Amino acid sequence: MARHKGHITIHDIAQSLQVSASTVSRALKNDKRISEATRKKVKQFAAENGYRLNVVASNLRKQRTETIGVIVPRIDRHFLATIISSIELHAHNHGYSVVITQSRESSDDEEKAVLTMFNQRVDGLLISTSLETKGEHNFDLFIKNNIPLVFFDRVPDDINLNRVVTNDRASSYKVTSRLLQNGHKKIYFVNGPTSILVFRNRLKGFKEALNDRGLEWNEQMYTECDLTLYSGRKIAEDILNRGDMPDAVYCSNDTTALCFLQVAQERGMSVPEDFSLHGFSDEPFSAVLTPKLSTVKQPGEEMGQIAVERLLELIDKKDLPPKTFVIPSVIKSRESDL
């Protein structure tokens, strides 16, 4: 062969094997229209002679990079890690690579990440917004240039965007209703910032459950924070040091609920005997605590799959009307609430 090993082309392979270039191309892509014997022969010849696909040239012809971007607030949360894993799996199954970055809950970092993804010419972007994000102006580069964009979990309010979410309002209603049915009337709710739709919906579900049972909303029994260990610890110490204890504490994530459990145990209190405790997100540690934490399991795998599938639909057909997908969560009742 005239070419050096590592620089052969599809046409070189076709000439050597006496088949068409299109047959070689399809065989290398594992196209089932080509017989298994031919696919095996082509792949073996390509491997032995150092054939490498010219990805840059291929993408220039298709005007695609076959890469999608993913921006998340944090990568150290089980729920988001589950979504990322699902995104990678399903993107890979469709022949796409994934570039992942985190905003670290910063709107400025999120905006920079969006610019980076734009400059890398990703074919589309999946994003869960930061706690600081207000509106969708951070994503104007993609929106104005008609580059596919799908939001998941934490999403902007604008209904004219593609979104994949859980039923946070209904889940919060169910959690609160269950606590009320168990006889708890003084329920302290620790929520994330209601500038974010997901936490606003959880507050709505909480209020609706109170209202349906004829109980008034009490602002003194409600706190918003960034749901970190540091914030959760401060709030837990403040509430559990009060003389007027709540019957139950409902937290918008398991990390904050863990803080309440730790502080209670340090003070010689027992959960659920002194107060019931309920989390949200079903972190892995929630099932191994003593007592095991009641929580809400969010459908991370399904969210990742649907987000990828929707994004790929938009990449193939950009004029599809916006759509919101709502996937139900599951209440996990364990030992921390009576």
pLDDT value of residue 4: 45
Q: What are 306's two structure tokens?
A: 């649907």
Q: What is the mean pLDDT of residues 300-325?
A: 96
The pLDDT tens digits for 168-226 are 999 999 999 999 999 999 999 999 999 999 999 999 999 999 999 999 999 999 999 99
pLDDT value of residue 117: 95
Quick one: pLDDT band at residue 60, thresholds 50, 70, 90?
low
CB atoms within 10 A of CB 128: 26
pLDDT value of residue 292: 98
- Computed over its alpha carbons, how large is the radius of gyration of the chain? 26
How remote is the C-alpha of 246 from its chain's centroid? Answer: 32
Statement: the pTM of the whole predicted model exceeds 0.85? no
Q: What are 267's two structure tokens?
A: 């003070």
Cβ atoms of 157 and 197 within 8 Å: the answer is yes
CATH superfamily ID and name for 65-166+300-327: Response regulator (3.40.50.2300)
Q: What is the mean pLDDT of residues 330-335?
A: 97
Q: Give dist(CA 102, CA 121) in Å, integer.
A: 18
pLDDT value of residue 243: 79
pLDDT value of residue 56: 52
* CA dihedral sign of residues 216, 220, 221, 223: positive
Q: Phi, psi (5° rounding) for residue 286? A: -65, -25
pLDDT value of residue 31: 81
Residue environment code for 232-257, b if the CB has 16+ CB neighbours within 10 A, otherwise e: bbebbeebbeeeeebbbbbbbbbbbb
Cβ atoms of 202 and 170 within 8 Å: the answer is no
Average pLDDT, the chain: 93
CATH number for 168-297 (one of 3.40.50.10740, 3.40.50.2300, 3.30.428.10, 2.30.30.100): it is: 3.40.50.2300
Q: Give dist(CA 254, CA 332) in Å, integer.
A: 12
Q: Is the pLDDT of residue 319 over 70?
A: yes
The pLDDT tens digits for 121-135 are 999 999 999 999 988
Residue spans per domain, the chain: 10-53, 65-166+300-327, 168-297
